[in-house]
Amino acid sequence: MQNNKLLFGSTIGIIGGGQLGRMMTTVAKHMGYRVMVLDPTPDCPTAQVADEQIVAAYDDLDAVRELAEKSDVVTYEFENVDLTAAQILEDAGILPQGANSLRVTQDRELEKKAMVDSNQPVADFAIVTSTEELQIAVEEIGYPSVAKTCRGGYDGKGQVKLTNKTDIESAVEMLQQADRLIIEKWVPFDKEISIVFTRSQSGEISYFPVAENIHRDHILHATIAPARVSEQIAEKARQAAKAIAETIGVVGTFAIEMFVCGEDILINELAPRPHNSGHFTIEACDVSQFEQHVRAICGLPLIPVHSHGGAVMVNLLGKDVEPFFSQLDDNPQAHIHMYGKAENKPLRKMGHVTFIGDNPLIIYNKLVEKKIIEN
């Protein structure tokens, strides 16, 4: 792994050409870096602002080697990177994040193991590989519970809620396709929060304000920062992040989603990259999750994080774009980020808007009144 500082003029390679790569690239270009993206879709969101694109599948190892040859450092904007490709890049010494973070976060069994190994609280769970094991696990964990595939699945996909014995059939069908499931106890949480942080190659960690997440149909709808939680909860979130980051060996920006239950937390999911719930940092902090990530992978010092006050970020799905822009004059304070996606789909993330102020609750209530946020 490279430990020297990579300064302006160096080339950053990015695997994945979506909106996270796009925002990462925008920051990198401001800092004087060249950016090359590997993505199978020509003129993908990242390619629109990058210097060059390699149009190829993510598991095209020849393309990965070309990316390695043309880049001084490589990163990724999503976790489903081909592990063979990641290992090639790590062996070449140009993937500071390493392959392990990907290996862990691609598999819910390994992810849960990392949480447990870090001595962090999680909901009761069991890994099952047969119908018999599934039935025993559900009996022991109880109803309601949730069955999830160990690999794949996001925004609510690849999972089924089990409320009684009749739901087990759906889980059995999913097991037959996936070979392995994780059964988790359903948690009646008070709210979901996330902690986005950045860890340098030397182990220094900087934390962004703990964020509160509101979902609609399993898709992140809005993020409130700072979260409406006690300082005790916020400190538990930071300590959990530190423990997990050191267990896995995190480098770069990373996110952890958690459930808040009273004054306790339960760790839910990990994301080894900048995160949707961290977009508020672009306007609300002195340094964004994307700049801090670029700094970490390039060996630059991390900037101490300071928040400018409150923020509320709202995702714009395809169905939200026209209604929002039709009332744009009524929302002049909105910071607009559109992702450059070619096709507008109703439930596709097409962009986001962020509102900044002194009090996030006041911002949130105004957005509810205007029906920009679904309450």
How would DSSP label each residue in 188-221? --SEEEEEEEEE-TTS-EEEPPPEEEEEETTEEE
Q: What is the pLDDT of residue 3?
A: 55
The answer to whether position 160 is within a domain reads yes
- The neighbouring-strand residues paired with 39 are 55
Split at pLDDT 50, 70, 90, the class of 158 is confident
Same domain, 226 and 362: yes
The model carries a pTM of 0.95
Same domain, 353 and 216: yes
Same domain, 210 and 336: yes
Residue 134's CATH number? 3.30.1490.20
Q: What is the pLDDT of residue 157?
A: 67
In angstroms, the Cα distances linking 231 to 70, 245, 272 are 45, 21, 25
Per-residue pLDDT at 213 exceeds 70: yes
Same domain, 155 and 224: no
Q: Which two tokens stand for residue 73?
A: 């450092």
Same domain, 27 and 65: yes
Same domain, 233 and 262: yes
Residue 38's CATH number? 3.40.50.20
Task: Count other C-beta atoms under 10 Å from residue 117's C-beta.
Answer: 12
Same domain, 158 and 46: no
Q: What is the pLDDT of residue 266?
A: 98
**Dist CA 340 CA 113 (whole Å):** 38
Per-residue pLDDT at 153 exceeds 80: no
- Cis preceding linkage at 40, omega within 30: no
Q: What is the pLDDT of residue 2?
A: 45
Same domain, 236 and 319: yes
Contacts (Cβ under 8 Å, ≥6 apart) of 165: none
**Helix (H) / strand (E) containing 323:** helix 318-326
**Dist CA 375 CA 371 (whole Å):** 8
Same domain, 253 and 145: no
Residue 287's CATH number? 3.30.470.20
pLDDT in tens, 113-128: 999 999 999 999 999 9
Mean pLDDT across 159-180: 92
Domain containing residue 58 = 11-95
Q: What is the DSSP letter of 95?
A: -
Q: What is the pLDDT of residue 156?
A: 56
Q: At what angle do helices 131-141 and 168-178 cross, to 10 degrees?
A: 130
Residues 326, 330, 331: CA angle, nearest 5 degrees: 95
Boundary-marking domain end, from 43, 76, 95 = 95
Boundary-marking domain end, from 185, 204, 238 = 185
The answer to whether position 42 is within a domain reads yes
The answer to whether position 111 is within a domain reads no
Parallel, antiparallel or unpaired: strands 11-15 and 73-76? parallel
The answer to whether position 100 is within a domain reads no
Tally of helices (H runs) and strands (E runs) in the chain: 12, 17
Split at pLDDT 50, 70, 90, the class of 1 is very low
Count of domains in the chain?
3
- The neighbouring-strand residues paired with 206 are 198
The answer to whether position 279 is within a domain reads yes
Task: Count other C-beta atoms under 10 Å from residue 349's C-beta.
Answer: 19
Parallel, antiparallel or unpaired: strands 52-55 and 34-39? parallel
pLDDT in tens, 2-26: 457 999 999 999 999 999 999 999 9
Mean pLDDT across 349-374: 96
Which amino acid, residue 36? Answer: M
Boundary-marking domain end, from 185, 205, 231 = 185
Residues 292, 303: contact at Cβ < 8 Å? Answer: yes
The answer to whether position 114 is within a domain reads no
**Dist CA 173 CA 177 (whole Å):** 7
Same domain, 286 and 328: yes
Same domain, 221 and 331: yes
> Tokens 């994040």 belong to which residue?
97
* Chain length of the chain: 375
The answer to whether position 2 is within a domain reads no
Contacts (Cβ under 8 Å, ≥6 apart) of 344: 318, 321, 350
> Shortest CA distance to 212 belongs to which of 361, 346, 332, 353?
361
Same domain, 162 and 215: no
